[in-house]
Amino acid sequence: MRKKYFAWSFDDGLEQDKRIIETLRQYGMGATFHLNSGLFGDKTYEGRIGNLGMTEKPAARFDPAARHLLPYVPHFRIPEDEVCQVYKGFEIASHTRTHVNLARCSEEERRTQIGDDVAALSKKFGQQVIGFAYPYGTDAKQSAAALKAAGVRYARTAHTEGGFRFPQDPLRTNLSCWHISSKTFQRLEQFFAAEPEDDDLFFLMFAHGYEFDFGTKESNWDKFERICETVAAHDDVVCCSMGEAFRLHGYPHG
User: With CB under 5 A, what is the number of residues at the site for Zn ion?
Assistant: 3
* Touching Zn ion, residues 135-164 (CB under 5 A): 135
Closer of 139 and 200 to Zn ion (Cβ): 139
Taking the complex as a whole, the smallest distance from the CB of residue 156 to Zn ion amounts, in Å, to 11
Q: Bridge partners of 165? A: 201
Closer of 11 and 15 to Zn ion (Cβ): 11
Closer of 11 and 211 to Zn ion (Cβ): 11
5-13, 45-53, 70-78, 112-120 -> range binding Zn ion (CB under 5 A): 5-13
CA 74 to chain CA centroid, Å, is 18
3-11, 67-75, 86-94, 122-130 -> range binding Zn ion (CB under 5 A): 3-11
15-23, 43-51, 134-142, 164-172 -> range binding Zn ion (CB under 5 A): 134-142
Strands of 41-174 (E only): list them.
43-49, 52-58, 72-76, 91-94, 131-133, 154-156
8-16, 65-73, 165-173, 223-231 -> range binding Zn ion (CB under 5 A): 8-16
Measured CA to CA, the distance from residue 45 to residue 72 in angstroms comes to: 6
Measured CA to CA, the distance from residue 95 to residue 115 in angstroms comes to: 11
Closer of 12 and 17 to Zn ion (Cβ): 12
Taking the complex as a whole, the smallest distance from the CB of residue 28 to Zn ion amounts, in Å, to 26
Q: Decide: residue 27, CB within 10 A, 0-12 exposed, 13-18 middle, 19+ buried.
A: middle
Closer of 172 and 234 to Zn ion (Cβ): 172
Among 8, 11, 164, 200, binds Zn ion (CB under 5 A): 11
- Is 12 near Zn ion (CB under 5 A)? yes
Specify whether the CB–CB gap between 251 and 170 falls below 8 A: yes
**Residue with nearest beta carbon to Zn ion:** 11
Query: Does an H or E element contain 113, and which?
Result: helix 107-125
Measured CA to CA, the distance from residue 113 to residue 135 in angstroms comes to: 11
Question: What distances in angstroms separate CA 231 from CA 35, 153, 195, 196, one per listed residue?
Answer: 25, 26, 16, 16
Please give the single-letter amino acid code of residue 104.
R
Closer of 12 and 15 to Zn ion (Cβ): 12
Q: Which residues bind Zn ion (CB under 5 A)?
A: 11-12, 135
